[in-house]
Amino acid sequence: MQEPFDVFLSHFAEEQSIAECVQEYLSLVFGGALPVFRSSDDRSIGTGKDQYSAILQALREAKLYIVLVSKYTAYRPWLNYEVGYGQARGIDLFPVLIRGTRGSEVGWPPELRQTVKTLVTVRS
């Protein structure tokens, strides 16, 4: 059985390399004390495991969500599903603007837009 993850790192598939950098950074800063789930990471979802079930389990167990947001991903259905799941659970959501995206370009509710922090700036 997989250990619970503290952080759910939500990202769009085409921005996997950025998500990987964020995950590596968190690992450098916190070591193994902050397990991070990233769906594109084979350490998060083992080979042969059901991806959908693993994602749902991580969404249920994570203590906080980090959501990588770009003007290309803000309207992706799956990303919005994950954000909605976190909102429904009432846990902390940390949207991170990437690829030069501005908060005004994100069509989320005002309460979420106010929490947007530019923690990472990565340009492709």
Burial of 36 (0-12, 13-18, 19+ CB in 10 A): buried
- Residue 98, pLDDT above cutoff 60: yes
Tens of pLDDT along 7-33?
999 988 888 999 999 999 999 999 888
CATH number, span 7-113: 3.40.50.10140
- Residue 73, pLDDT above cutoff 60: yes
Under the banding of pLDDT at 50, 70 and 90, the label for residue 109 is low
Kindly list the domain boundaries of the chain, sorted by start residue. 7-113
The continuous run of DSSP H or E covering 86 comes out as helix 77-89
Question: Which pLDDT value is given to residue 114?
Answer: 52
Rounded to an integer, the average pLDDT of 58-77 is: 86
Written as six digits, the tokens of 52 are: 């959908």
Residue of 73, 120, 63, 119 lying closest to 93 (CA atoms): 63
- The residue ranking higher by pLDDT, 45 or 93, is 93
Mean pLDDT of the chain: 80
